[in-house]
Chains A and B, each alone.
Chain A
């Protein structure tokens, strides 16, 4: 029993530690996303072509509205383990081309 609680503490503890370590490298993503930069669109096309056709057929920008892409790209950011930067670049590209 004691062994099991130890196991649990270990699991919870290590997850927490990992989370905190990773979170400490936090970036100011929202401000980045608002400002954008000139190369973003070009990076976006590339990231879209490289990442968005590996699990399913490529879904073209015209399929969805800006607000819908915002949610879908966040969904795919989790599903496909995209970095925040890749997600923002791809979103920018999709929103500019729908």
Chain B
């Protein structure tokens, strides 16, 4: 044992020395790897932090985008869904007339007609059109063409109150804007104070009712103050039907138009009105209007014809005792040469009046160039027959630019 102890002692010392050395070397390398591991972890943590930061900023961005989309869609639907909304439209025209036999030539049309429409939900529409035009003498004429409040009572009836275009016939109500009328001038007898009533101040009900397969009935009934008379040197020279906010004859006019649409794009209308007309401080006299109109569109062809008459009764006690009938009719065909931008128009019209100087027969031929459905140039020639030496007898060239916006 002694021997063993003596012999093994240095060995043990050597071994323990080796162990101690190797363990300290081991501890060194372990702390190194730990350190690098810590470093790696640190790096990873930093990366994770950056990632989290990135993600939360992306989330923030998504949130911002969401809010933006919401605001944009709100701004969009605000326009479409607002309870009260409006639209400004209208039309403008510029024209030149060359009258060979009398009157010479002039740039004689410069008009601007703004139309205002305000809609409250699907309940009420306020519609108004102003005409602002340059008169022959250079002054500016302003006129309320119509201004009414329309209440949609139900799917088949709308109440119209105020000043509205006369529903009698078709032309005065539906073809007066320059971009709609296919020819630069109005048909004979369809102008101011002539055979066709223009507007009315009063109250009306109108609408449409479908029946059968693709058939429809339309109606427009009204009660209004009615027209007044234009008197000169003991004779009635015209029926003023621009719409009056007074009723000098104190007898209302009741009237309307009923039409049938037996096939799509084909319409036949019947119009009639009756009541009183007169002059201030005179007993009133009878007034009646009768008319019929027909319209048909087939492919590029547009056909239209219309007859209208207004009759004023006699009144012995009047400054102009003799009444009379003012009547007019026209037939028109227009053809679009598609796909080109050209359109041709042919119109015949006749106006009869108790005043010889007003009578007129007319053939009108025109050609139109359309930049768009409501933007065009119209060139036309009128062959006119009237009382010799009168304006109504002179042929004319007409040129017009029209834009409905």
* Chain A residues within 8 Å of B, Cβ to Cβ: 4, 7-8, 11-12, 15, 18-19, 22-23, 25-27, 29-30, 33, 50, 53-60, 63, 65-68, 70-72, 74-75, 77-86, 95
Main secondary structure on chain A at its contact with chain B?
Answer: helix
* Chain B residues within 8 Å of A, Cβ to Cβ: 79-80, 82, 85-87, 89, 117-119, 121-122, 125, 127, 150, 152-160, 173-175, 177, 179-180, 203, 205-210, 214, 218-221, 223, 250-252, 254, 264-265, 267, 295, 297, 370, 373-374, 404
Shortest distance from the beta carbon of B115 to any chain A beta carbon, whole Å: 8
Q: B158 is contacted by which of A54, A68, A78 (Cβ under 8 Å)?
A: A78
Question: B180, A55: Cβ atoms under 8 Å?
Answer: yes
Q: A23 is contacted by which of B157, B160, B174, B370 (Cβ under 8 Å)?
A: B157
- Given A19-B157, A71-B119, A74-B117; 18 other pairs, CB 8 A cutoff: A4-B250, A7-B252, A15-B221, A18-B205, A19-B153, A19-B205, A22-B207, A30-B122, A56-B174, A56-B373, A66-B80, A67-B79, A72-B87, A77-B158, A78-B150, A79-B174, A82-B208, A84-B154
Write out the residue numbers on chain A whose beta carbons fall within 8 Å of the beta carbon of B160.
Answer: 78
A5 to B129, CA, bound (A): 33
Question: B156, A7: Cβ atoms under 8 Å?
Answer: no
Question: A78, B206: Cβ atoms under 8 Å?
Answer: yes
Write out the residue numbers on chain B whose beta carbons fall within 8 Å of the beta carbon of A78.
Answer: 125, 127, 150, 158, 160, 206
Question: B297, A68: Cβ atoms under 8 Å?
Answer: no
Question: B175, A29: Cβ atoms under 8 Å?
Answer: no
Question: A55, B175: Cβ atoms under 8 Å?
Answer: yes
Question: A11, B252: Cβ atoms under 8 Å?
Answer: yes
Question: A60, B373: Cβ atoms under 8 Å?
Answer: yes
Write out the residue numbers on chain B whose beta carbons fall within 8 Å of the beta carbon of A22.
Answer: 153-154, 156-157, 205, 207
Write out the residue numbers on chain A whose beta carbons fall within 8 Å of the beta carbon of B404.
Answer: 56
Question: A57, B267: Cβ atoms under 8 Å?
Answer: no
Write out the residue numbers on chain A whose beta carbons fall within 8 Å of the beta carbon of B154.
Answer: 22-23, 25-27, 29, 84
Question: A85, B125: Cβ atoms under 8 Å?
Answer: no
Write out the residue numbers on chain B whose beta carbons fall within 8 Å of the beta carbon of A77.
Answer: 152, 158
Minimal Cβ-Cβ distance residue in A for B257: A81
A18 to B154, CA, bound (A): 13
Write out the residue numbers on chain B whose beta carbons fall within 8 Å of the beta carbon of A7.
Answer: 251-252
Question: A67, B179: Cβ atoms under 8 Å?
Answer: no
Pairs A-B, 9 closest by C-beta atoms: A84-B155, A57-B373, A22-B157, A71-B87, A81-B218, A50-B264, A81-B208, A26-B154, A67-B79
Q: A19-B159, A83-B156 are in contact. Are A55 and B150 (CB under 8 A)?
A: no
A72 to B87, CA, bound (A): 7
Minimal Cβ-Cβ distance residue in A for B181: A56
Question: A29, B155: Cβ atoms under 8 Å?
Answer: yes
User: What are 24 pairs between A and B in contact, CB < 8 Å?
Assistant: A11-B252, A15-B205, A22-B154, A22-B156, A23-B154, A26-B153, A50-B264, A54-B267, A54-B295, A55-B174, A55-B180, A56-B177, A57-B370, A58-B373, A63-B373, A65-B79, A66-B80, A67-B80, A67-B85, A70-B80, A71-B85, A74-B125, A75-B127, A81-B208
A77 to B17, CA, bound (A): 110
Most buried by A among B87, B173, B220: B87
A11 to B247, CA, bound (A): 14
Shortest distance from the beta carbon of B198 to any chain A beta carbon, whole Å: 16
A26 to B122, CA, bound (A): 13
Write out the residue numbers on chain A whose beta carbons fall within 8 Å of the beta carbon of B370.
Answer: 57
Most buried by B among A23, A27, A57, A70: A57
Write out the residue numbers on chain B whose beta carbons fall within 8 Å of the beta carbon of A4.
Answer: 250-251
Minimal Cβ-Cβ distance residue in B for A56: B180
Write out the residue numbers on chain A whose beta carbons fall within 8 Å of the beta carbon of B79.
Answer: 65-67
A25 to B119, CA, bound (A): 22
Minimal Cβ-Cβ distance residue in A for B264: A50
Q: A57-B370, A68-B87, A81-B208 are in contact. Are A15 and B153 (CB under 8 A)?
A: no
Write out the residue numbers on chain A whose beta carbons fall within 8 Å of the beta carbon of B125.
Answer: 71, 74-75, 78
Write out the residue numbers on chain A whose beta carbons fall within 8 Å of the beta carbon of B267.
Answer: 54
A50 to B298, CA, bound (A): 11
Question: B153, A70: Cβ atoms under 8 Å?
Answer: no
A63 to B218, CA, bound (A): 28
A89 to B122, CA, bound (A): 14
Minimal Cβ-Cβ distance residue in B for A21: B157
Minimal Cβ-Cβ distance residue in B for A32: B155
Write out the residue numbers on chain A whose beta carbons fall within 8 Å of the beta carbon of B208.
Answer: 80-83, 86
Minimal Cβ-Cβ distance residue in A for B375: A57
Question: A15, B206: Cβ atoms under 8 Å?
Answer: no
A56 to B86, CA, bound (A): 22
Minimal Cβ-Cβ distance residue in A for B208: A81
